[in-house]
Amino acid sequence: MSNEEIRTQIENCLSETAARFKGFGARYEYDGKRRRFLVSYSYAESLGACDDFWCAIAEMEDGMQKRFGDNAPLFCEDERLFRLSDNAIAVTAPGSEDFVCRQEPSTEFTLGYEIQTSFVSDNTYFLAA
C-alpha cells in the first residue's frame, strides 16, 4: 500500500475521532528514520477519565495495525514517545484545546528489584531539537 493511502486513512480516522469527542486533536507526519507515520494526539482533561474515549483510541490504533501491519502509523499521547516537527499536520475539531508540550518522563515505574550495574546516565536527557 502507498503512503498516500495510509495518510488518507489517518486523516479519516482522526477526523472521525475529533468529530466524536470534543476536545480531541492530533498531529501527524511521516518519519523518514522509522519509515512510518507518527501520530501524536491530545485531549481535553474531561476526556481523560472517559472509558469510551480510550476504547475508541484503542479501536482506531488496532484498526490501523490490522490494516497496515508493519507499515501502520505509530501513536502516542502528547508526544510522550516521540517528537514531531513543526511541519506536522494538525487535525482538530472546532473548540479543541491547543496541543500541550511533551510530558516529562515518569519516575513512578519501579520493578521491585535493584539492577546491580552502574548506569551510563541517570535517565534524564534533553530532547533533540
129: contact with other proteins by CB under 8 A: no
Distance CA(9)–CA(24), nearest Å, equals: 17
* Grid coordinates of 97: 484545546
User: How many CB atoms neighbour CB 68 within 10 A?
Assistant: 17
Q: How far is the CB of 9 from other proteins (least distance, A)?
A: 16
Distance CA(105)–CA(99), nearest Å, equals: 18
75: contact with other proteins by CB under 8 A: yes
* Residues in contact with other proteins by the rule CB under 8 A: 33-34, 36, 48, 51, 54-55, 57-58, 61-62, 65, 69-70, 72, 74-77, 80-82, 105-106, 109-113, 115, 117-121, 123, 125, 128
